[in-house]
Every structure is written in C-alpha cells, then in structure tokens.
Amino acid sequence: MSAVLSTVNLGVERTGPWVSEVGRSGIDKRPVEHRVTARTWGLEGDLVANLKVHGGPNKAVYAFAREDARFWVEELGREVGPGAFGENFSTLGVDITNAEVGERWAIGDAVFEVIRARKPCKVFAGYWDVPDLVKRFIAHGAPGAYLRVLQEGSVGAGDPVEIIHRPGHGVTVGLMLRALTTERHLLPRFLDAPEMLPKHHEKARRWLAQQQEAESAST
C-alpha cells in the first residue's frame, strides 16, 4: 500500500468534567474536505485549548495511523473514526510506531519532522470514557507521533506521504514511548538521536547519572 494522508482533522471545542484546568479541549478532531495550511505552530483552523501541553513548534501536528486504530476498534468493540485520537493527520500505509525521531516526511507542499512520541493524558481517557485508557494505550505501544513543520505549506486528504529522510539511529517512536514509561533503561538510547529535543537528552543523562550514583553507593 502506498503511504497517504487519509484525512486532515481539525479540533472543535469540547467541554465536560474531563477537560483540563482551561475549561475546554480541542481533542475532538474532525475530518475536513478542504486543504489546510501547515504553519510552524500548527495547522490553520485547528483548536488547541491548553497551550501548556499541546501545540507549538514541537507539537505542531499529531499523526496517528489508521492501521493502529483498528486495534482499538476490536479492543473496545466500537467505531473509532479519523480524529478520535485527537490526531490532526490520519495516515494509511505509514508505520508511525517504527518511524525514527528526526525522520522527515514530505506531504503536499509541506515538510514535517517526527520529533516525539505522544504520551496519553487523563483528558484523552475522559474524552473516550475509558478510565484505564492511559495504561492500556501505553501497554499497546502504538502512540502516534508529534511532528514539527520544517517547511510550511498546504496539505489535504489523499496527499502522498513520502519519507525523504531517515536518520538510521534506530530510536523509534515506539522505543521512545517505552523509555518514557515502562522501560526506563532505554533512556540512554535517546543520546543516539541528535534530532531529539534537548529536554529528552537531559532526561537520559540524569538517568545515567542516577545509575552511576547507585553503582558507586553499592561498592
């Protein structure tokens, strides 16, 4: 299957007891038929309610594979449509879990860079009304990826997704999620990926320092 952008999804305002302290959420993303301009800060027309944890250059666009959505259809026994994960891009034929940090995709007139795995939050669990969703989402290990916008431009449903650069260091989106959650011994692998955000490199260095301190104390 060729890799394509299945849908572009933009947020609409939602409120409820599960929203964050800002009192509203843009997690409900819905497909649009028109082309959308990708800017360095995000997609034009997208609602990002809590700017502390969403949006901005390092979380400009969230991509999730429709192939990974099928697991949740079977797991929950209900339809999970495009945008249901809060994703801006629903893709087909893209192995997002095994995409490397720093991988670059050309879509439409724009160029994107895979920058980090998505760590789910309680807002996501509340929106789906699945209390243990965060734990189950992490255990499944297919988190989707946040993208930077390296070259602004328009994108639309049906655009091919072309991988134009793959770093080759092997630090994938799936590995990153595991390192940040259940397999912290993988944190030093972050240092193999120069494209990773400095705060994640620092997290890896702190983990290594703690291990060295523990080893010194035991000898």
pLDDT 10s digits, 153-209: 999 999 999 999 999 999 999 999 999 999 999 999 999 999 999 999 999 999 999
pTM for the whole structure: 0.95
Mean pLDDT (the chain) is 94
Q: Is residue 52 very low, low, confident or very high in pLDDT (cuts 50, 70, 90)?
A: confident
Question: HEC string of 94-163?
Answer: CCCCCCECCCEEEECCEEEEEEEECCCCHHHHHHHCCCCHHHHHHHHCCCCEEEEEEECEEECCCCEEEE
